[in-house]
């Protein structure tokens, strides 16, 4: 989420709370593509535009096949839940699998399609963590349905707080630089450096 302070919010800001689930729109390129396709544009046209704008790499597989969101959900699993997932632990299906027909059907039912990255404790006795990255049709009342374009968002459910939502810009050179600067400042503060 570039410079949006999601990691500190979900770690320091939730100190003393017990996280139950995390779900989010974590890849700005995938979100941009789905937002534009929802307006009726073709996948190929939007992907080419995203590449021209610098939102997508020349080889866009990391974004459109869900690999980037998987990496981010692994970071959230480690920081929020204290549990390191393996790639094999996370099911993945990217936005390259979304058809215009699926988007048209979602629109006709008043739904949006977003690539959601989710983490939640399984119902098994051991309560292991289950991770998924996949395009999902969600209702207009879902806060993630309103996150369009290159914005990203994370919703964390924690006891006793309930749902906490963090929304911010997810792409751009200056925003990424702000995120790196923020990380460096936090590392220096933790080490006691000025």
Active-site residues, by number, are 72
Is the CB of residue 10 less than 8 Å from the CB of residue 166?
A: yes
Q: How far is CA 127 from CA 119, 120, 137, 186, 194, in A?
A: 12, 9, 26, 32, 41
Q: Residue 93 and residue 68: Cα distance in Å, rounded?
A: 12
User: What whole-number distance in Å separates Cα of residue 5 and Cα of residue 125?
Assistant: 33
Strand partners of residue 92: 133
């Amino acid at each position: 989420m570039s410079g949006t302070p999601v990691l500190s919010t979900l770690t320091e800001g939730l100190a003393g709370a017990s996280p139950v689930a995390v779900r989010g729109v974590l890849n700005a390129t995938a979100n941009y593509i789905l937002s534009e396709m929802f307006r009726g544009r073709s996948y190929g046209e939007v992907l080419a535009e995203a590449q021209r704008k610098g939102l997508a790499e020349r080889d866009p597989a990391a974004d459109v096949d869900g690999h980037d969101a998987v990496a981010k959900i692994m970071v959230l699993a480690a920081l929020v839940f204290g549990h390191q997932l393996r790639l094999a632990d996370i099911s993945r299906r990217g936005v390259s699998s979304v058809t215009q027909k699926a988007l048209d059907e979602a629109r006709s039912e008043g739904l949006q399609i977003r690539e959601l990255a989710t983490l939640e404790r399984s119902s098994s006795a051991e309560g292991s963590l289950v991770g998924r990255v996949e395009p999902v049709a969600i209702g207009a009342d879902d806060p993630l349905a309103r996150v369009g374009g290159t914005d990203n968002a994370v919703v964390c459910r924690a006891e006793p707080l309930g749902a906490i939502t963090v929304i911010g810009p997810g792409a751009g050179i200056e925003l990424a630089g702000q995120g790196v600067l923020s990380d460096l400042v936090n590392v220096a503060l933790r080490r006691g450096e000025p």
